[in-house]
Amino acid sequence: MSKREIKSDRIIDFLNKELGKLAEEIKLEQGTSKDKIELKTQMIDAINNLKLFSNHNLYHQNIEIIKIPEGGSDAHFTEFNIVDEKATEKVPEWAIKRDKNGEIKIDCYDLIIKRKKQ
């Protein structure tokens, strides 16, 4: 476990404790504070995001986020496939990358998280 993972775990633990305190306050107030309920939702989101990034070792120093550019007038219907490119004019069927859900496709609303080369 890296130092960064240990620090993330400590922050997640801290946020979970604060979330528990906040949940108790909301319970005592019987949910009358909409601000506290919204804060609770935001804390849960933050904890889940920290876990996601920590699990995949994604930190602002080692990633680059790429937004897929919009295409022409039919951009809403444009899909791209991830392929194993072999410098051929036509991509053979075997080169299209798949996961458990089938072909890996992206469109102009997607983001790619790319690791920076070290």
Residue-level pLDDT at 9: 87
90, 94, 99, 104 alpha-carbon torsion, rounded to 10°: 10
Residue-level pLDDT at 56: 87
Residue-level pLDDT at 46: 95
Report field, pTM of the whole predicted structure over 0.75: no
Say which residues have a Cβ less than 8 Å from residue 36's Cβ, sequence separation at least 6: 22, 25, 26, 29
Domain range holding 10? 3-55
Residue-level pLDDT at 73: 60
Element (H, E) at 99: strand 98-99
Q: Is residue 105 in some structural domain?
A: yes
Q: Is residue 65 in some structural domain?
A: no
Number of domains in the chain: 2
Mean per-residue pLDDT pooled into runs of 10, the chain (118 residues): 74 95 92 91 96 88 86 66 68 75 82 85
Residue-level pLDDT at 86: 65
Looking at the fold, whether 77 and 102 belong to one and the same domain comes out as yes
Looking at the fold, whether 48 and 8 belong to one and the same domain comes out as yes
Q: Is residue 84 in some structural domain?
A: yes
